[in-house]
Amino acid sequence: MKLFECPTCGQRLYFENTRCEQCGGVLGYVPEREDLTTLGAMGGSLWRALDDKGGRFRFCANAAWDACNWLIEADAPGDYCRACRLNRTVPDLSDTDNLMRWRELERAKHRLVYSLLALGLPLTDRFRDPVNGLAFDFLAGSRDDGADTAQIGHANGVITIAVEEANDVHREVTRSELSEPYRTVLGHFRHEVGHYYWDRLVTPGVLLDTFRTMFGDERQSYSDALAAHYTDGPPDNWRANHVSSYASAHPWEDFAETWAHYLHIVDTIETASYFGMRLDPDAGRELDVDAATRFASVDAKDFDALIAAWVSLTYALNCLSLSMGQRELYPFVLAPAVLGKMRFVHGLIHARPQGGSGFIAQ
């Protein structure tokens, strides 16, 4: 993700900021500009942008819940922004726990939508396009024995996220029970949207044939494959062919996991580039790390350059995380077969007309 600054005073901002802590200016995010702007009240629900681009806007209706800082052009139809229009179901917000957890889900979802728009991927809500649109159901609820009734998954363009996943304790317990090295809210969103884009982008013909060659035949029984995975576990050699053990369960899961990791890479490298980060380690020169450590110069459309930068960055991030007494930040090994699958995802995204800015090197 890019970095943001207050147009009025130059204070550095977070993507989710609603007010500048230095000058006190009211802030809103303009998705069409991929930028935060300071705002002046015009009366009623209207605000005017105080930056050099100007414009009149309204806040998304979910700003009332402190769950969104995105803006809608004053004359645009509807009450919800580009990200919140994707919501089909939200939990009972009169429940304080639901409200707090839904806000965390929205933070992650808005970051996801930022990336999808920046990459120029097709993105429309299910209300405007009932056939190809994307929708989110954020569900809460549990049985009398305490087991969750809401499950995480994707079906025909609808992504379901259990609100309980925004509970850090619940998520950590689940991560441990499933022996997962990594489990985050944003990771869930990136994985599940991978299923959506498999439906949208892996069309019959050459692409589908190539997918089956690399990932396997998705026509095998999905339910049987998952049952076998949870009963028998992954194959012994899964690390040579899959980015995670869960990716070995079924070709659809392999694609979704690979897609999620590709988004991890693109977004993190973009952030490093906006910070002007450069790595020049005092050890390991034989790895030739200098060739890909000025992140601002990485061309995100060059897959090899992107991966070379990622290897350098994750080694540094893992070392920093361990120095803080935490687990490795990126505890994964990208084997050659995994990189081949990731290159397929890269091609799906970049070998099509781009509707967004993409990751633009500085």
- What pLDDT, in 10s, does the model give residues 201-250? 998 899 999 999 999 999 999 999 999 999 999 999 999 999 999 999 99
Strands 158-162 and 153-155, by their bridges, are antiparallel
Sign of CA dihedral 12, 326, 115, 87: negative
Does 121 score more than 80 pLDDT? yes
Residue 362: the pLDDT is 31
d(CA 192, CA 197): 9
Does 133 score more than 60 pLDDT? yes
Q: Quote the pTM value.
A: 0.91
Does 187 score more than 90 pLDDT? yes
Residue 159: the pLDDT is 97
The pLDDT confidence band at residue 180, using thresholds 50, 70 and 90, is: confident
Q: How many residues are given for the chain?
A: 362
For the CA atoms of the chain, what is the radius of gyration? 21
The pLDDT confidence band at residue 179, using thresholds 50, 70 and 90, is: confident
The pLDDT confidence band at residue 352, using thresholds 50, 70 and 90, is: low
- What pLDDT, in 10s, does the model give residues 108-118? 999 999 999 99
Residue type, 62: N
- Per the listing, tokens 């609603």 go with 18
The pLDDT confidence band at residue 142, using thresholds 50, 70 and 90, is: low
Strands 56-59 and 87-89, by their bridges, are unpaired
- Max Cα separation, the chain? 64
The mean pLDDT of 94-100, rounded to a whole number, is: 96
Q: Is 207 in contact with 199 (CB distance < 8 Å)?
A: no
d(CA 350, CA 246): 26
* Tokens read off for 349: 């995204």
Does 355 score more than 80 pLDDT? no
Q: State the SS3 of the chain.
A: CCCEECCCCCCEECCCCCECCCCCCEEEEECCCCEEEEEEEEECCEEEECCCCCCEEEECHHHHHCCCCEEEECCCCCCCCCCHHHEEECCCCCCHHHHHHHHHHHHHHHHHHHHHHHCCCCCCECCCCCCCCEEEEEECCECCCCCECCCCEEECCEEEEEHHHHCHHHHHHHHHHCCCCCCCHHHHHHHHHHHHHHHHHCCCCHHHHHHHHHHCCCCCCHHHHHHHHHHHCCCCCHHHCCCCCHHHCCHHHHHHHHHHHHHHHHHHHHHHHHCCCECCCCCCHHHCHHHHCEHHHCCCCCHHHHHHHHHHHHHHHHHHHHHCCCCCCCCCCCCHHHHHHHHHHHHHHHCCCCCCCCCCCC
Distance of CA 78 to the CA centre of its chain: 25
In the chain, pLDDT over 70 holds for what percent of residues? Answer: 91
Q: Is 234 in contact with 245 (CB distance < 8 Å)?
A: yes
Does 348 score more than 80 pLDDT? yes
Residue 285: the pLDDT is 56
Which of 177-181, 189-193, 252-256 comes out lowest in average pLDDT?
A: 177-181
Could you tell me which residues come within 8 angstroms of residue 49 by beta carbon, excluding any fewer than 6 positions away?
30, 37, 38, 39, 55, 56, 57
Q: Is 237 in contact with 320 (CB distance < 8 Å)?
A: no
The pLDDT confidence band at residue 284, using thresholds 50, 70 and 90, is: low
The pLDDT confidence band at residue 359, using thresholds 50, 70 and 90, is: very low
